[in-house]
Amino acid sequence: MNRLLRFFHLENYRKELFGEDIKAALTVSVVAIPQSMAFAMIAGLNPVYGLYTAIIPLIIGSLLDSSNYMYNGPTNALCVLSASIIAGMSGVQDPLPLLFLITFVAGALQLLFGLMRLGNVVNFISHSVMVGFMTGAGILIGMGQFYKTLGLSLPGNAAFSPLEKLLYTLTHLGESNPYALGLTALTLIIVLATKRISRKIPGPLIAILITGGLCALFRLDGRGVSLTGEIPRGLPAFTPVIISMDRLRTVGPQALAVAIIGLVQSASISKTLAQESGEYLDSNREFISQGIQNMVGAQFQCLPSGGSFTQSILNYFSGAKSRISGVLIGIFTALIFLFFGRFAEWIPSATLAALIMMTALNLLKIGEFKKAFSLSREEGIVAVITLLGTILLPSLNLAIYLGVIVSFIAYFKKTGDAHLRMLLEKDGVLEERGHLDEDDGEPYLILQLEGILFFGNADDLSRKLSEISGRSRIYIIRFKRVTSIDLTSAEVIRRFREGVMNRGGTVLFCGVSQGLGKVFVDSRLLRDVKEEDLFFAENQLLQSTYKAIERARFLSGLADS
């Protein structure tokens, strides 16, 4: 039993914390329920699937996550992606089984990534990919839900893209239903007013209760107001996904996109929570948790699930003390759905659409775009390309792949530059020289290498070393800030040293760690280096560097007699 409690990080749980977890869970539940229903509508599905996804994955994820406060369930990004996937199944009579299979396969990929300990790989996917995707998703959601807020209905059974829905809405404004418009306006007023009074007041839930009550009381469905309609009773039933090789080949690309978005989104949220709470974050455990909750959730008709930033932060600031709060949120959601779910059929579509539109506004990361461009032009370009791909490409999984590819290109472009700095020693103080092409007739030159030296920037390193070759007879190469080096880069340095020695010069090495020294030996770089020309890193700052400078002064005839 104690081992099980340690596995779930509950070995120090005390009964007096339970009351705090209950209060936090109740607060999050009343906010999460209407949002979960709205998220399912983003995917074009019955709201019940959003509720299912707010129960099973949440309970499992709360127990398995490394974060005590993570809320796992339906999210804007994953539901927009699901909508795109469903839209691409125009020839499929019932797309739900395939969507659940995609959820299962995405979970299997996430689990595999976690077991392979690839948790840090997500750090190589730029945050700008999520900025561009989320902003594009917000635009698509707004275009796709606008017609519902006006009480319009799309003609026929044809699949409309979000842009086509917007164009249809703008050309049929005169056909708007005044009752639906009134319900939309009332929803916005309630949510904005309650938010101004206190963010703890569940404005969306109050709006749903009031507008749903008005529809039932005045039978507004008879006046052209579209309602949510019948919602299946009871908890989700166990419905195994159907797996076959043909199906796996069909859903593979979509499942990979779902897995990537789910992991990137959850990783960024868990990092934010870890910074707030000070708790330890295990990225590999997060991957495994995401995978298991999606694989199990798929068997209970759940949509792809991931971390929700809004609910996670609300859970933390509502006073949650442990992962038990997440389990309780799932249980409370199930109980509310069981006992009050039959009243949900009176919820007007205009109300849920208005709530979705407000959520979509929060996805427009204009400030993040400005920040991306101010920090790095490459980051800004990644965000813009992902945004355009999200809006213009025929499927969102292509936009995600595009963003990830551009992100990796930008990363490798940065790492393709070898960081080499020129240092000058003046009266015992080291100063950085501005340009490598300056030649002040120094008796010895100090070259400081930094970061990762690998085959990707070996050519740039070779070019920079060639530019300063012949400028001096004695060179000191400082390795203290080199985190790793491969054989290709070591060979570049060996050839540079060989060229200097052929001209009668000397190359001294300083700040060499034991790890780097092993690579140097394997690469034959230290094969004929004299012991007095090699200075290993020491605990005292710059100690090996000043020893190398003393040696250089001796060789150049500048040493004090």
Q: pLDDT tens-digit profile of 394-407?
A: 777 788 888 888 88
- Residue 141: its pLDDT value, please? 86
The DSSP code for 415 is H
Lookup result for tokens 């319900």: 183
Average pLDDT, whole number, for the chain? 86
39 CB burial (10 A radius; 0-12, 13-18, 19+)? buried
Rounded Cα gap, residues 445 and 230, in angstroms: 79
CB burial readout 333-345, b (16+ within 10 A) else e: bbeebeeebeebb
Res 335 pLDDT > 70: yes
pLDDT tens-digit series, residues 497-540: 999 999 999 999 999 887 787 777 766 777 778 888 989 888 88
- Indicate the pTM of the whole model: 0.75
Higher pLDDT, 86 or 558: 86
- Residue 561: its pLDDT value, please? 43
Q: What percent of the chain is predicted at pLDDT more than 70?
A: 94
Of residues 21, 56, 503, 69, the one with CA closest to residue 294 = 56
Confidence of residue 1 (pLDDT cuts 50, 70, 90): low
pLDDT tens-digit series, residues 479-494: 988 888 888 888 899 8
Cα dihedral value 508, 513, 519, 522, nearest 10? 70
Res 477 pLDDT > 90: yes
Q: Where are the domains of the chain?
A: 18-135+231-348+356-412, 419-555
Of residues 251, 245, 244, the one with CA closest to residue 100 = 251
432 CB burial (10 A radius; 0-12, 13-18, 19+)? exposed
Res 415 pLDDT > 80: no
Res 434 pLDDT > 60: no
Confidence of residue 173 (pLDDT cuts 50, 70, 90): very high
Q: Which CATH class is domain 419-555?
A: alpha beta
Of residues 518, 466, 462, the one with CA closest to residue 492 = 462
- Residue 131: its pLDDT value, please? 85
Higher pLDDT, 59 or 358: 59
- Residue 4: its pLDDT value, please? 64
Confidence of residue 59 (pLDDT cuts 50, 70, 90): very high
- Residue 157: its pLDDT value, please? 55
Rounded Cα gap, residues 204 and 29, in angstroms: 12
pLDDT tens-digit series, residues 460-476: 999 999 988 878 889 99
Average pLDDT of the residues in 49-62: 94
- Residue 508: its pLDDT value, please? 95
Of residues 331, 312, 332, 263, the one with CA closest to residue 108 = 263
Average pLDDT of the residues in 190-199: 89
Higher pLDDT, 374 or 473: 473
Res 88 pLDDT > 60: yes
- Residue 192: its pLDDT value, please? 93
Res 425 pLDDT > 50: yes
- Map residue 507 onto helix, strand or coil: strand
Average pLDDT of the residues in 272-281: 74
Lookup result for tokens 């109740």: 26
